[in-house]
Amino acid sequence: MASLFDRIRLGSIEAANRIFMAPMTRGRATPDHVPTPIMAQYYGQRASAGLILTEAIGISLEGLAWPYAPGIWSEEQIDGWSAVTDAVHHAGGRIVAQLWHMGRLTHSSFPGRGRPVSASATTAPGLAQTYDGKLPYEEAKALDVAEIPALVDQFASAARNAVRAGFDGVQIHAANGYLLDQFLRSSSNLRRDGYGGSAENRIRLLQEVTAAVIQSIGADRTAVRLSPNGEIKGVNDDDPEGLFVVAAKMLSTLGIAFLEVREPDFNGTNGKADRLPVAPLMRRAFNGPLVLNSDYDAEKGQAALDAGQADAIAFGRLFIANPDLPDRLARGLPPSSSDPATWYSRGAEGYTEF
Protein backbone atom coordinates (compact mmCIF):
# COMPACT_ATOMS: atom_id res chain seq x y z
CA MET A 1 0.00 0.00 0.00
CA ALA A 2 1.42 3.37 -1.01
CA SER A 3 2.52 5.99 1.52
CA LEU A 4 2.58 9.76 1.02
CA PHE A 5 6.36 9.44 1.31
CA ASP A 6 6.82 6.80 -1.41
CA ARG A 7 8.28 7.64 -4.81
CA ILE A 8 6.01 7.71 -7.85
CA ARG A 9 6.56 7.89 -11.60
CA LEU A 10 4.34 10.16 -13.69
CA GLY A 11 5.25 9.69 -17.34
CA SER A 12 8.86 10.84 -17.60
CA ILE A 13 8.80 12.48 -14.14
CA GLU A 14 10.18 10.60 -11.15
CA ALA A 15 8.76 12.21 -7.99
CA ALA A 16 10.50 11.64 -4.66
CA ASN A 17 7.21 11.53 -2.73
CA ARG A 18 3.46 11.83 -3.25
CA ILE A 19 3.09 15.18 -1.47
CA PHE A 20 2.64 17.59 -4.38
CA MET A 21 2.44 21.36 -4.23
CA ALA A 22 -0.83 22.53 -5.77
CA PRO A 23 -1.03 25.55 -8.11
CA MET A 24 -1.52 28.83 -6.24
CA THR A 25 -1.57 32.31 -7.76
CA ARG A 26 0.65 34.59 -5.63
CA GLY A 27 1.06 37.78 -7.71
CA ARG A 28 4.84 38.27 -7.51
CA ALA A 29 5.67 38.76 -11.21
CA THR A 30 6.21 42.16 -12.83
CA PRO A 31 3.32 44.25 -14.22
CA ASP A 32 4.39 42.89 -17.64
CA HIS A 33 4.04 39.32 -16.32
CA VAL A 34 7.76 38.46 -16.14
CA PRO A 35 8.86 36.07 -13.34
CA THR A 36 11.04 37.76 -10.71
CA PRO A 37 14.05 36.53 -8.68
CA ILE A 38 11.95 36.20 -5.53
CA MET A 39 9.83 33.64 -7.36
CA ALA A 40 12.93 31.48 -7.90
CA GLN A 41 13.60 31.65 -4.17
CA TYR A 42 9.97 30.81 -3.35
CA TYR A 43 9.79 27.73 -5.54
CA GLY A 44 13.30 26.61 -4.60
CA GLN A 45 12.30 26.65 -0.93
CA ARG A 46 9.54 24.15 -1.72
CA ALA A 47 11.60 21.73 -3.80
CA SER A 48 11.08 18.91 -1.28
CA ALA A 49 7.56 18.50 -2.66
CA GLY A 50 7.36 15.38 -4.79
CA LEU A 51 6.24 17.65 -7.62
CA ILE A 52 5.60 21.39 -7.76
CA LEU A 53 2.66 22.50 -9.89
CA THR A 54 3.25 26.19 -10.55
CA GLU A 55 0.82 28.99 -10.20
CA ALA A 56 -1.24 29.46 -13.36
CA ILE A 57 0.93 30.85 -16.20
CA GLY A 58 -0.62 32.84 -19.04
CA ILE A 59 -0.14 31.38 -22.52
CA SER A 60 -0.76 34.72 -24.24
CA LEU A 61 -1.24 38.40 -23.51
CA GLU A 62 -4.90 38.15 -24.54
CA GLY A 63 -5.54 35.22 -22.21
CA LEU A 64 -4.00 36.67 -19.03
CA ALA A 65 -5.56 39.46 -16.98
CA TRP A 66 -4.58 38.98 -13.35
CA PRO A 67 -2.37 41.61 -11.72
CA TYR A 68 1.28 40.55 -11.41
CA ALA A 69 0.61 37.00 -12.63
CA PRO A 70 3.35 35.45 -14.83
CA GLY A 71 3.23 34.53 -18.51
CA ILE A 72 5.35 32.36 -20.77
CA TRP A 73 4.99 33.80 -24.29
CA SER A 74 8.08 36.06 -24.42
CA GLU A 75 11.83 35.46 -24.28
CA GLU A 76 12.09 37.59 -21.15
CA GLN A 77 9.45 35.43 -19.44
CA ILE A 78 11.20 32.22 -20.52
CA ASP A 79 14.46 33.54 -19.06
CA GLY A 80 12.69 34.38 -15.80
CA TRP A 81 11.22 30.90 -15.55
CA SER A 82 14.64 29.38 -16.30
CA ALA A 83 15.90 30.86 -13.04
CA VAL A 84 12.93 29.27 -11.24
CA THR A 85 13.46 25.79 -12.68
CA ASP A 86 17.21 26.04 -12.02
CA ALA A 87 16.53 26.81 -8.35
CA VAL A 88 14.12 23.89 -8.00
CA HIS A 89 16.38 21.41 -9.80
CA HIS A 90 19.44 22.55 -7.85
CA ALA A 91 17.52 21.69 -4.67
CA GLY A 92 16.60 18.25 -6.07
CA GLY A 93 12.98 19.00 -6.95
CA ARG A 94 10.70 18.58 -9.93
CA ILE A 95 8.44 21.30 -11.33
CA VAL A 96 5.61 21.44 -13.89
CA ALA A 97 4.23 24.62 -15.51
CA GLN A 98 0.46 25.09 -15.32
CA LEU A 99 -0.74 26.66 -18.61
CA TRP A 100 -3.64 29.11 -18.35
CA HIS A 101 -6.11 31.03 -20.50
CA MET A 102 -8.66 32.93 -18.44
CA GLY A 103 -11.33 33.27 -21.12
CA ARG A 104 -14.23 35.48 -20.04
CA LEU A 105 -12.39 36.30 -16.79
CA THR A 106 -9.96 38.63 -18.59
CA HIS A 107 -10.67 42.37 -18.74
CA SER A 108 -10.14 45.02 -21.38
CA SER A 109 -8.64 47.46 -18.85
CA PHE A 110 -5.40 45.46 -19.09
CA PRO A 111 -3.19 46.83 -21.91
CA GLY A 112 -3.54 44.99 -25.21
CA ARG A 113 -6.36 42.70 -24.18
CA GLY A 114 -9.51 43.82 -25.94
CA ARG A 115 -12.82 42.05 -25.43
CA PRO A 116 -12.73 38.76 -23.46
CA VAL A 117 -13.43 35.52 -25.32
CA SER A 118 -15.25 32.40 -24.22
CA ALA A 119 -17.26 29.46 -25.48
CA SER A 120 -20.32 31.71 -25.76
CA ALA A 121 -21.29 35.35 -25.35
CA THR A 122 -21.70 35.26 -21.58
CA THR A 123 -20.60 37.40 -18.65
CA ALA A 124 -18.95 36.14 -15.47
CA PRO A 125 -20.56 37.23 -12.21
CA GLY A 126 -18.81 39.51 -9.76
CA LEU A 127 -15.80 41.76 -10.19
CA ALA A 128 -12.46 41.36 -11.94
CA GLN A 129 -9.17 42.05 -10.18
CA THR A 130 -7.38 44.71 -12.27
CA TYR A 131 -4.58 47.24 -11.93
CA ASP A 132 -7.37 49.83 -11.64
CA GLY A 133 -9.08 48.03 -8.76
CA LYS A 134 -12.11 45.75 -8.92
CA LEU A 135 -14.23 46.25 -12.04
CA PRO A 136 -17.33 44.44 -13.37
CA TYR A 137 -16.65 41.63 -15.79
CA GLU A 138 -17.48 42.30 -19.44
CA GLU A 139 -19.54 40.23 -21.84
CA ALA A 140 -17.31 37.79 -23.67
CA LYS A 141 -17.19 37.25 -27.40
CA ALA A 142 -17.90 33.67 -28.49
CA LEU A 143 -14.82 32.25 -30.19
CA ASP A 144 -15.41 31.60 -33.89
CA VAL A 145 -14.54 28.11 -35.07
CA ALA A 146 -11.94 29.69 -37.34
CA GLU A 147 -10.23 31.26 -34.29
CA ILE A 148 -9.85 28.02 -32.37
CA PRO A 149 -6.75 26.64 -34.17
CA ALA A 150 -4.78 29.76 -33.18
CA LEU A 151 -5.79 29.23 -29.55
CA VAL A 152 -4.70 25.60 -29.70
CA ASP A 153 -1.38 26.71 -31.17
CA GLN A 154 -0.89 29.12 -28.25
CA PHE A 155 -1.14 26.24 -25.77
CA ALA A 156 1.32 24.17 -27.82
CA SER A 157 3.73 27.10 -28.10
CA ALA A 158 3.53 27.74 -24.37
CA ALA A 159 4.33 24.07 -23.72
CA ARG A 160 7.42 24.30 -25.93
CA ASN A 161 8.46 27.49 -24.14
CA ALA A 162 8.05 25.72 -20.80
CA VAL A 163 10.38 22.93 -21.87
CA ARG A 164 12.87 25.54 -23.10
CA ALA A 165 12.67 27.14 -19.66
CA GLY A 166 13.60 23.83 -18.03
CA PHE A 167 10.26 22.63 -16.75
CA ASP A 168 9.84 18.88 -16.31
CA GLY A 169 6.43 19.04 -17.94
CA VAL A 170 3.24 21.07 -18.20
CA GLN A 171 -0.24 20.91 -16.79
CA ILE A 172 -3.14 22.19 -18.91
CA HIS A 173 -5.47 24.24 -16.70
CA ALA A 174 -8.97 23.09 -17.62
CA ALA A 175 -10.53 23.84 -14.23
CA ASN A 176 -11.93 26.51 -11.91
CA GLY A 177 -14.10 28.38 -14.41
CA TYR A 178 -11.38 29.47 -16.85
CA LEU A 179 -11.51 29.17 -20.63
CA LEU A 180 -11.29 25.42 -21.12
CA ASP A 181 -13.71 24.88 -18.23
CA GLN A 182 -16.03 27.44 -19.85
CA PHE A 183 -16.10 25.18 -22.92
CA LEU A 184 -16.60 22.05 -20.82
CA ARG A 185 -19.62 23.07 -18.81
CA SER A 186 -23.20 23.47 -19.94
CA SER A 187 -23.94 26.73 -18.09
CA SER A 188 -21.26 28.65 -20.02
CA ASN A 189 -21.15 26.67 -23.28
CA LEU A 190 -24.31 27.49 -25.24
CA ARG A 191 -22.84 26.67 -28.65
CA ARG A 192 -24.71 24.76 -31.36
CA ASP A 193 -21.68 23.71 -33.41
CA GLY A 194 -19.17 20.89 -32.98
CA TYR A 195 -17.87 22.43 -29.75
CA GLY A 196 -21.23 22.60 -27.95
CA GLY A 197 -24.21 20.51 -27.00
CA SER A 198 -23.20 16.99 -26.02
CA ALA A 199 -20.43 16.25 -23.52
CA GLU A 200 -18.44 14.72 -26.37
CA ASN A 201 -18.61 18.04 -28.23
CA ARG A 202 -17.88 20.19 -25.19
CA ILE A 203 -14.67 18.28 -24.42
CA ARG A 204 -13.46 18.76 -28.02
CA LEU A 205 -11.40 21.88 -27.36
CA LEU A 206 -9.70 20.25 -24.37
CA GLN A 207 -9.00 17.20 -26.55
CA GLU A 208 -7.49 19.33 -29.32
CA VAL A 209 -5.38 21.37 -26.89
CA THR A 210 -4.11 18.26 -25.11
CA ALA A 211 -3.30 16.48 -28.38
CA ALA A 212 -1.40 19.55 -29.63
CA VAL A 213 0.62 19.80 -26.41
CA ILE A 214 1.38 16.08 -26.60
CA GLN A 215 2.58 16.49 -30.16
CA SER A 216 4.82 19.36 -29.04
CA ILE A 217 6.44 17.90 -25.91
CA GLY A 218 5.21 14.31 -25.50
CA ALA A 219 2.42 12.66 -23.54
CA ASP A 220 4.91 11.70 -20.84
CA ARG A 221 5.35 15.38 -19.94
CA THR A 222 1.69 16.45 -20.30
CA ALA A 223 -0.90 16.61 -17.51
CA VAL A 224 -4.38 18.13 -17.09
CA ARG A 225 -6.30 19.66 -14.21
CA LEU A 226 -10.10 19.30 -13.98
CA SER A 227 -12.52 20.50 -11.28
CA PRO A 228 -15.81 18.57 -11.09
CA ASN A 229 -16.90 20.77 -8.19
CA GLY A 230 -20.12 22.75 -8.14
CA GLU A 231 -20.46 26.30 -9.41
CA ILE A 232 -17.23 28.27 -9.59
CA LYS A 233 -16.91 31.75 -11.13
CA GLY A 234 -20.41 31.30 -12.50
CA VAL A 235 -19.59 28.05 -14.32
CA ASN A 236 -21.47 24.83 -13.61
CA ASP A 237 -22.83 21.76 -15.39
CA ASP A 238 -26.17 19.97 -15.55
CA ASP A 239 -24.53 16.53 -15.46
CA PRO A 240 -21.03 16.72 -13.92
CA GLU A 241 -20.80 12.94 -13.55
CA GLY A 242 -21.41 12.34 -17.24
CA LEU A 243 -19.24 15.23 -18.42
CA PHE A 244 -16.15 14.52 -16.36
CA VAL A 245 -16.21 10.77 -16.90
CA VAL A 246 -16.25 11.38 -20.66
CA ALA A 247 -13.36 13.85 -20.25
CA ALA A 248 -11.39 11.40 -18.10
CA LYS A 249 -11.84 8.61 -20.66
CA MET A 250 -10.64 10.88 -23.46
CA LEU A 251 -7.54 11.94 -21.49
CA SER A 252 -6.83 8.31 -20.65
CA THR A 253 -6.92 7.43 -24.36
CA LEU A 254 -4.42 10.23 -25.06
CA GLY A 255 -2.09 8.71 -22.45
CA ILE A 256 -1.24 11.83 -20.44
CA ALA A 257 1.27 11.57 -17.59
CA PHE A 258 -1.27 12.27 -14.85
CA LEU A 259 -4.64 13.83 -14.15
CA GLU A 260 -5.23 16.18 -11.22
CA VAL A 261 -8.79 16.51 -9.93
CA ARG A 262 -9.79 19.36 -7.66
CA GLU A 263 -13.02 18.58 -5.85
CA PRO A 264 -14.36 19.78 -2.49
CA ASP A 265 -14.99 17.59 0.50
CA PHE A 266 -18.35 15.83 0.48
CA ASN A 267 -18.58 14.93 4.17
CA GLY A 268 -21.45 17.32 4.71
CA THR A 269 -19.48 19.91 6.69
CA ASN A 270 -19.31 22.48 3.91
CA GLY A 271 -22.75 22.26 2.37
CA LYS A 272 -21.62 20.10 -0.55
CA ALA A 273 -23.28 16.85 0.50
CA ASP A 274 -26.16 17.34 -1.92
CA ARG A 275 -24.40 15.04 -4.41
CA LEU A 276 -21.75 12.36 -4.44
CA PRO A 277 -18.17 13.12 -5.50
CA VAL A 278 -17.28 12.65 -9.14
CA ALA A 279 -13.59 11.83 -8.64
CA PRO A 280 -14.21 8.11 -7.87
CA LEU A 281 -16.00 7.74 -11.22
CA MET A 282 -13.14 9.52 -12.97
CA ARG A 283 -10.70 7.22 -11.20
CA ARG A 284 -12.31 4.22 -12.85
CA ALA A 285 -12.33 5.95 -16.26
CA PHE A 286 -8.73 7.17 -16.23
CA ASN A 287 -5.96 4.62 -16.68
CA GLY A 288 -3.06 6.57 -15.22
CA PRO A 289 -1.86 8.30 -12.05
CA LEU A 290 -4.61 10.35 -10.41
CA VAL A 291 -3.83 13.28 -8.11
CA LEU A 292 -6.50 14.66 -5.78
CA ASN A 293 -6.61 18.20 -4.43
CA SER A 294 -8.77 20.30 -2.11
CA ASP A 295 -8.32 20.87 1.61
CA TYR A 296 -6.34 17.71 2.38
CA ASP A 297 -4.24 17.24 5.48
CA ALA A 298 -1.80 14.37 6.06
CA GLU A 299 -4.42 12.07 7.61
CA LYS A 300 -7.01 12.59 4.89
CA GLY A 301 -4.37 12.37 2.17
CA GLN A 302 -3.01 9.06 3.42
CA ALA A 303 -6.55 7.71 3.81
CA ALA A 304 -7.23 8.53 0.15
CA LEU A 305 -4.12 6.60 -0.89
CA ASP A 306 -5.03 3.69 1.40
CA ALA A 307 -8.51 3.52 -0.14
CA GLY A 308 -7.09 3.51 -3.66
CA GLN A 309 -8.81 6.80 -4.46
CA ALA A 310 -5.61 8.53 -5.59
CA ASP A 311 -1.94 7.97 -6.31
CA ALA A 312 -0.77 11.34 -4.92
CA ILE A 313 -2.21 14.36 -3.12
CA ALA A 314 -1.70 18.02 -4.05
CA PHE A 315 -1.56 20.28 -0.99
CA GLY A 316 -2.22 23.98 -1.51
CA ARG A 317 -2.31 26.52 1.30
CA LEU A 318 -0.31 24.30 3.67
CA PHE A 319 2.72 24.94 1.44
CA ILE A 320 2.42 28.74 1.83
CA ALA A 321 3.76 28.93 5.39
CA ASN A 322 5.38 25.49 5.36
CA PRO A 323 7.96 25.29 2.54
CA ASP A 324 9.30 22.13 4.25
CA LEU A 325 5.84 20.51 4.35
CA PRO A 326 6.93 16.93 3.51
CA ASP A 327 9.45 16.98 6.38
CA ARG A 328 6.89 18.43 8.77
CA LEU A 329 4.37 15.75 7.85
CA ALA A 330 6.98 13.00 8.19
CA ARG A 331 7.89 14.23 11.69
CA GLY A 332 4.28 14.69 12.76
CA LEU A 333 4.74 18.42 13.36
CA PRO A 334 1.70 20.71 13.19
CA PRO A 335 1.81 22.98 10.13
CA SER A 336 2.11 26.74 10.57
CA SER A 337 -0.75 28.97 9.46
CA SER A 338 -0.43 31.51 6.66
CA ASP A 339 -1.65 35.11 6.76
CA PRO A 340 -4.23 35.76 3.99
CA ALA A 341 -3.16 39.41 3.91
CA THR A 342 0.18 38.30 2.42
CA TRP A 343 -1.14 35.87 -0.20
CA TYR A 344 -1.10 38.50 -2.98
CA SER A 345 0.84 41.30 -1.28
CA ARG A 346 3.83 41.14 -3.67
CA GLY A 347 6.48 41.31 -0.93
CA ALA A 348 8.71 38.73 0.75
CA GLU A 349 6.63 38.61 3.93
CA GLY A 350 4.46 35.53 3.90
CA TYR A 351 6.10 34.45 0.63
CA THR A 352 9.76 33.67 1.29
CA GLU A 353 9.94 35.09 4.82
CA PHE A 354 7.79 34.09 7.80
**Other Cβ atoms within 10 Å of 215 Cβ, number:** 12
Cα separation, 37 vs 30, whole angstroms: 11
DSSP 289-319: -EEEESS--HHHHHHHHHTTS-SEEEE-THH
155 neighbors 209 (Cβ within 8 angstroms): yes
Neighbouring C-alpha atoms within 13 Å toward the C-beta of 232: 20
Encode 299-329: b = buried (16+ Cβ within 10 Å), e = exposed. Answer: eebbebbeeebbbbbbbbebbbbbbbbbebb
DSSP assigned state of 344? T
98 neighbors 227 (Cβ within 8 angstroms): no
**Other Cβ atoms within 10 Å of 208 Cβ, number:** 17
Contacts of 316 (CB under 8 A, 6+ apart): 21, 22, 23, 24, 293, 294
178 is catalytic: yes
Neighbouring C-alpha atoms within 13 Å toward the C-beta of 175: 23
38 neighbors 27 (Cβ within 8 angstroms): no
Which listed residue (42, 43, 68, 178) is catalytic? 178
Cα separation, 83 vs 280, whole angstroms: 38
61 residue type, one letter: L
Return the active site residues: 178
